[in-house]
Amino acid sequence: MAIPIVNGTSCLSLYASSKELLDQAINFYTNIIGLTLHSEDEDKLYLSNDDSTLAVKLVLSPKKGLSLDEIITKRDTLIKSLNVHDWRSLETTIVLKYTELVNLISSLKTFNQPVQLSPNELFPNEVYTIDPLGNIVGFTTSENPLAVVPPIEKFISEEHILSTLMSTTVSDRSRNDDSENSPKRNIAIMTSGGDAPGMNANVRAVVRAAIYRGCKAFAIMEGYEGLVRGGPQYIKEMSWHDVRGYLSEGGTNIGTARCMAFRERAGRLISCKHLIEAGINALIVCGGDGSLTGADLFRAEWPSLIQELKDTNEISLEDFNTYKHLNICGTVGSIDNDMATTDATIGAYSSLDRICRAIDYIDATANSHSRAFVVEVMGRHCGWLALMAGIATSADYILIPEKPSSSKDWQEQMCTIVGKHRAKGKRKTIVIVAEGAITSDLQPISANDVKDVLVKRLGLDTRVTTLGHVQRGGTAVAFDRILATLQGVEAVKAVLDVTPDTPSPLIAIEENKIVRKPLVEAVKITKSVAEAIQNKDFEKAMSLRDSEFSEHLSNFIAMNSANHNEPTLPLEKRKKIAIINIGAPAGGMNSAVYAFSTYCMSRGHTPYAIHNGFAGLSRHESVRSMDWLEIEGWNSVGGSEIGTNRQTPQDTDIGMIAHYFEKYQFDGLVIVGGFEAFVSLDQLEKARPMYPAFRIPMVLIPATISNNVPGTEYSLGSDTCLNSLMEYCDVVKLSASATRDRAFVIEVQGGNSGYIATYASLISGAQASYVPEEGIALDQLESDIKSLKEAFSIDRGLSKSGKLILKSTNASKVLTTEVLADIMKSESNGEFDVKTAIPGHVQQGGLPSPIDRTRAARFAIKAVQFIEAASDELLEFKYALDFPTDNKTITGTAAVLGVKSSHLKFRSIRQLYDFETEIGRRMPKNIHWAKTRDIADQLVGRTRLVKP
């Protein structure tokens, strides 16, 4: 039979060198690719799909087929080059026609096959993988290599949208490829322990993600107390609409309460019965270590509890067989950020935001009256809040439970530091005390104790401020909404994936990646910290905290000792290091300059600031060394104090820039900025052969609200931007809800990057977002307008019914924000009104967020450490006539510092610029937020038609 294949052959022949490899190939092409085996000839096997548009002949041939060792070597080489090199450029590839490309991608990833998508992950029109015989096999919907590929449609039916929006109980219809073969469970969510901002976002995500996957969703009211009491009053089935508006509300709407009864087996026994009565077989708990310990104990006892209920005829044999196992998953809601194995807990950064705002306000009055303020923050066993607030606000001193000293030592040390700061001309003093602060003999240190020492020893006019439960209150910041939402969605996936033999998972975050960790292990380590402190083993307590905690503490000590301790480096190792801001202002730029300068001072380096970018340097020689008192307070200042502009070295005068670099004998350069800074680093690195002045270590710290710098998934300023945009959207949504039947189209910045629009959509609950990566297709617009009509029809007369549509400025040059609003209004047939809202440069934010302040400090100090380590590698080539341009070690000394998945790493500018960047679009090739777009759409029930 003649089978059309993209490369023109009638049937593709593949060769296996052994019977074992032949069997593996059969399994691959039948189970993963979906072909059917048509012959049982021992040496030649024919496979094809149902409509015979794709056929493969597998031939057993020891001479023509690759050996197992050759296949393994080849496969390892290709996997190492995945997302670094295009496989098509490495060797000849086989390309086959395949109509269901989205299903194929899902199947390949399910079976952990290496996958390379073209042109990118967001809009793939070709997919390549490696078969068991060592062939690179590609699949496309195109008839031939030059054909225009039809759009790939990730289709969710209109029936699905209506059912999810209108009904409480969702049928077993397939929702998407993920849910089609997933078990259908009744999933309950509960919040327990102390409330934390973001818990409501977590509840919303769990409820809607469960419904989206064809499961029933329940909320257990009042935590474990509701579980013990049971009944429909406390165990409520939740509909799609029940969690509307949850994103912008603080606390937990489903309640939380302490429950002594659940601590006893009798309480857990009745709770088991209540869950079975409600038909629940999966439980997600959002709470602290105590709540999660109770949850895992409940799961461990479940077999004996259900056995006892059967033996006493409390449940039927059918119920016993149906509910033999309870799947448990934890998400951590705690403002203290005291859970081990995760970088952040839900609510921690919202609490830190409250603290930093309060200290920013206190700072002004302290400066006015030359006063000292002692601020007490929460943290009974964990000093994270106090430590991070100390970094974010440039506090003079902090007291935390993990690093105590004797009663005499802490008083002496604090007074020495504060005294020297005052002697240098500082008018204010801020000391932050964690509520669990102790001495080395476990005696508590209160805020009043600290005040008395400052008054008696230094004679300072001192006040005490205890923030108390203000730290728990208010709506969640953008980070916590994102974290809670993504963890909620992952928690639903986890309870659907786990088996009776799988340990209960905890949903955690590492750097920028949502991961699953063993719940028992995380709780055990967390409790061990408190035990170590109680046993006065403070070194162990610090070691049990994650490495980032120790790193932040070390950074705080280094920055805080900039003006009163001897530098830690000998004279011969001290350097002259410059910092420069390039591009648009972004929150955290000043924090980076402050941290860079104070850390340099503590090490003995001379920090220089290049003012007003490369244009300022080439035209006005705008170089100044940094003074400690001059930069005091910069941490909490927005914008860029040293100035910034978008001009690159080649836009100004690269020769003059080299001249000034040589004049000041810079030993290293830190560039803070966005894509213009990225291009600037590339230009400086390429100019090294001609200008020896640039043969120094150079580091880029990404800082742009667009978050479009290749080599990182996080840029300084993007969190500040999201918080500003979140507050703006919340206000606009209130206006839309109050007016009834109104939608707002909000224009979002970000250049050619859809990052801001995507995450703003996630945290505001927008009905749709349009981004440059996708554009605005007319069929997508038509679908969205139809969904708006249906949503307004269902919501008529209900509160919290305002709708938002987010549009990136560059999503479409034709369909502007005003035109988009006019089209929607015209097509609404009078069923709803549409207005526009353009926040403009408000999105750059005012005061930088605590995340941008603390990450700026971490990035800046890492950059200086990189320069210290890399300097020796360039010494021998400083004035060499033949400068090596192909030496990876040398090119690696010009790097971008960024977050990639769960790692913080330096990436060579050459690798990033040459292989991972779309220069014309000012974008990285890999769009790391693509999955987040899917989640944002899923949680509002939007049908998105994804086109290449």
For residue 623, list its beta bridge partners: 610
Query: In this predicted structure, what is the pLDDT of residue 944?
Result: 81
The strand order across the sheet containing 126-130 reads: 94-97, 136-140, 126-130, 116-118
Instruction: Tell me if 19 is assigned to some domain.
Output: yes
Higher-confidence residue of 56 and 593: namely: 593
In 3-state terms, what secondary structure has residue 158? helix
Instruction: Tell me if 543 is assigned to some domain.
Output: no
The residues, any chain, with a CB within 8 Å of residue 49's CB and separated by 6 or more, are 34, 35, 36, 55
Query: In this predicted structure, what is the pLDDT of residue 163?
Result: 40
- Mean pLDDT of all residues in 422-437: 94
Query: In this predicted structure, what is the pLDDT of residue 152?
Result: 38
Query: In this predicted structure, what is the pLDDT of residue 9?
Result: 46
User: Residue 612: which CATH number?
Assistant: 3.40.50.450
H-helix segments, 828-941? 850-875, 888-891, 909-915, 930-938
Query: In this predicted structure, what is the pLDDT of residue 287?
Result: 93
Residue for token digits 């794709």?
54
Judge whether 338 counts as a catalytic residue. no
- Asked if the model's pLDDT at residue 835 lies above 50, the reply is yes
Do 686 and 659 contact (CB within 8 A), yes or no? no
Query: In this predicted structure, what is the pLDDT of residue 177?
Result: 41
Query: In this predicted structure, what is the pLDDT of residue 182?
Result: 55
Candidates 178, 177, 94; CA nearest to 129 is 94
Name the helix (H) or strand (E) containing 219. Answer: strand 216-220
Same domain, yes or no, for 781 and 893?
no
Query: In this predicted structure, what is the pLDDT of residue 45?
Result: 84
Query: In this predicted structure, what is the pLDDT of residue 164?
Result: 38
Instruction: Tell me if 788 is assigned to some domain.
Output: yes
- At 599-644, the pLDDT tens digits run 999 999 999 999 999 999 999 999 999 999 999 889 889 999 999 9
Query: In this predicted structure, what is the pLDDT of residue 948?
Result: 44
- Asked if the model's pLDDT at residue 218 lies above 60, the reply is yes
Residue for token digits 């001897």?
566
| Maximum Cα–Cα distance across the chain | 97
- At 530-559, the pLDDT tens digits run 888 888 888 888 888 877 888 999 999 999
> DSSP class of residue 181?
T
> DSSP class of residue 89?
G
Query: In this predicted structure, what is the pLDDT of residue 40?
Result: 60
- Asked if the model's pLDDT at residue 226 lies above 60, the reply is yes
CA distance 283 to 191: 11
Last residue of a domain, one of 471, 498, 517: 471
User: For the whole model, what pTM was predicted?
Assistant: 0.80
The strand order across the sheet containing 606-610 reads: 623-625, 606-610, 576-582, 668-673, 698-702, 894-900, 903-908
Query: In this predicted structure, what is the pLDDT of residue 166?
Result: 38
Same domain, yes or no, for 775 and 816?
yes
**Percent over 70 (pLDDT), the chain:** 92
Do 277 and 242 contact (CB within 8 A), yes or no? no
Tokens in use for 901? 């998945």
Higher-confidence residue of 444 and 1: namely: 444
- Mean pLDDT of all residues in 505-514: 90
Higher-confidence residue of 55 and 696: namely: 696
Query: In this predicted structure, what is the pLDDT of residue 170?
Result: 32
- Mean pLDDT of all residues in 767-776: 93
Tokens in use for 617? 């340097």
- Mean pLDDT of all residues in 373-394: 94
CA distance 312 to 3: 66
The residues, any chain, with a CB within 8 Å of residue 187's CB and separated by 6 or more, are 206, 210, 215, 216, 217, 218, 280, 282, 283, 284, 492, 495
- Mean pLDDT of all residues in 445-474: 94
Query: In this predicted structure, what is the pLDDT of residue 154?
Result: 37
Same domain, yes or no, for 693 and 748?
no
Candidates 151, 179, 154; CA nearest to 164 is 179
- Mean pLDDT of all residues in 920-930: 91
H-helix segments, 230-376? 265-278, 289-311, 317-322, 348-369
Kindly tell me the sign of the dihedral angle through the C-alpha atoms of 519, 182, 902, 848.
Answer: negative
> DSSP class of residue 444?
B
Query: In this predicted structure, what is the pLDDT of residue 461?
Result: 95
| Res. 32 pLDDT band, cuts 50 70 90 | confident
Query: In this predicted structure, what is the pLDDT of residue 123?
Result: 56
Same domain, yes or no, for 99 and 236?
no
Do 384 and 339 contact (CB within 8 A), yes or no? no
Same domain, yes or no, for 624 and 752?
no
- At 702-731, the pLDDT tens digits run 999 999 999 999 999 999 999 999 999 999
Tokens in use for 22? 């032949």
The strand order across the sheet containing 216-220 reads: 235-238, 216-220, 186-191, 282-287, 327-332, 505-510, 513-518
Q: Structural domain tally of the chain?
A: 5
Secondary structure of the chain: what % helix, strand, coil (to 5)? Answer: 45, 15, 40
Do 481 and 488 contact (CB within 8 A), yes or no? no
Do 360 and 822 contact (CB within 8 A), yes or no? no
Query: In this predicted structure, what is the pLDDT of residue 544?
Result: 81
The residues, any chain, with a CB within 8 Å of residue 185's CB and separated by 6 or more, are 215, 216, 281, 282, 327, 495, 496
User: Residue 828: which CATH number?
Assistant: 3.40.50.460
Higher-confidence residue of 179 and 186: namely: 186
CA distance 741 to 824: 13
Instruction: Tell me if 209 is assigned to some domain.
Output: yes
Same domain, yes or no, for 24 and 118?
yes
∠ CA 81-82-85, rounded to 5°: 60
| Res. 10 pLDDT band, cuts 50 70 90 | low
3-state secondary structure 788-805: HHHHHHHHCCCCCCCEEE
Same domain, yes or no, for 204 and 248?
yes
Residue 408 one-letter amino acid: K
- Active-site residue identified among 336, 338, 480, 667: 336
- Asked if the model's pLDDT at residue 482 lies above 70, the reply is yes
Residue for token digits 């899923």?
938
CA distance 917 to 903: 20
CA distance 939 to 789: 18
CA distance 243 to 540: 43
In 3-state terms, what secondary structure has residue 594? helix
Query: In this predicted structure, what is the pLDDT of residue 4?
Result: 40
Do 97 and 53 contact (CB within 8 A), yes or no? yes
Do 272 and 309 contact (CB within 8 A), yes or no? yes
Residue for token digits 């799988």?
502
Same domain, yes or no, for 521 and 620?
no
* Mean pLDDT taken over the chain: 88
User: Residue 18: which CATH number?
Assistant: 3.10.180.10
| Res. 42 pLDDT band, cuts 50 70 90 | low
Do 170 and 164 contact (CB within 8 A), yes or no? yes
- Asked if the model's pLDDT at residue 162 lies above 60, the reply is no
Tokens in use for 534? 């109680």
CA atoms within 13 A on the CB side of 544: 25
Query: In this predicted structure, what is the pLDDT of residue 168?
Result: 33
Do 217 and 210 contact (CB within 8 A), yes or no? yes
Last residue of a domain, one of 88, 105, 140: 140
CA distance 702 to 791: 40
Instruction: Tell me if 417 is assigned to some domain.
Output: yes
- At 845-867, the pLDDT tens digits run 889 999 999 999 999 999 999 99
Same domain, yes or no, for 52 and 86?
yes
- Mean pLDDT of all residues in 198-214: 94
Over its C-alpha atoms, the chain yields an Rg (Å, rounded) of 30
CA distance 917 to 927: 11
- Mean pLDDT of all residues in 785-813: 84
- Mean pLDDT of all residues in 501-505: 88
Candidates 364, 387, 476, 443; CA nearest to 763 is 476
Same domain, yes or no, for 422 and 313?
no
Instruction: Tell me if 921 is assigned to some domain.
Output: no
- At 634-645, the pLDDT tens digits run 988 999 999 999
Do 389 and 395 contact (CB within 8 A), yes or no? yes
Same domain, yes or no, for 517 and 617?
no
Query: In this predicted structure, what is the pLDDT of residue 278?
Result: 92
Last residue of a domain, one of 491, 512, 527: 527
Instruction: Tell me if 332 is assigned to some domain.
Output: yes
Query: In this predicted structure, what is the pLDDT of residue 643?
Result: 95
- Asked if the model's pLDDT at residue 180 lies above 90, the reply is no
In 3-state terms, what secondary structure has residue 193? coil
Query: In this predicted structure, what is the pLDDT of residue 272?
Result: 95
Neighbours of 865 (CB within 10 A): 13
Do 295 and 495 contact (CB within 8 A), yes or no? no
Query: In this predicted structure, what is the pLDDT of residue 149?
Result: 41
Do 818 and 679 contact (CB within 8 A), yes or no? no
Neighbours of 690 (CB within 10 A): 12
Instruction: Tell me if 155 is assigned to some domain.
Output: no
CA atoms within 13 A on the CB side of 216: 12
Q: Which domain holds residue 827?
A: 720-846+932-938
- At 61-116, the pLDDT tens digits run 888 889 988 888 888 888 877 766 778 777 777 888 787 777 788 788 778 888 88
Same domain, yes or no, for 834 and 868?
no
Cα-based distances in Å from 199 to 123, 291, 345, 505: 33, 14, 10, 18
Query: In this predicted structure, what is the pLDDT of residue 41?
Result: 67
| Res. 947 pLDDT band, cuts 50 70 90 | low
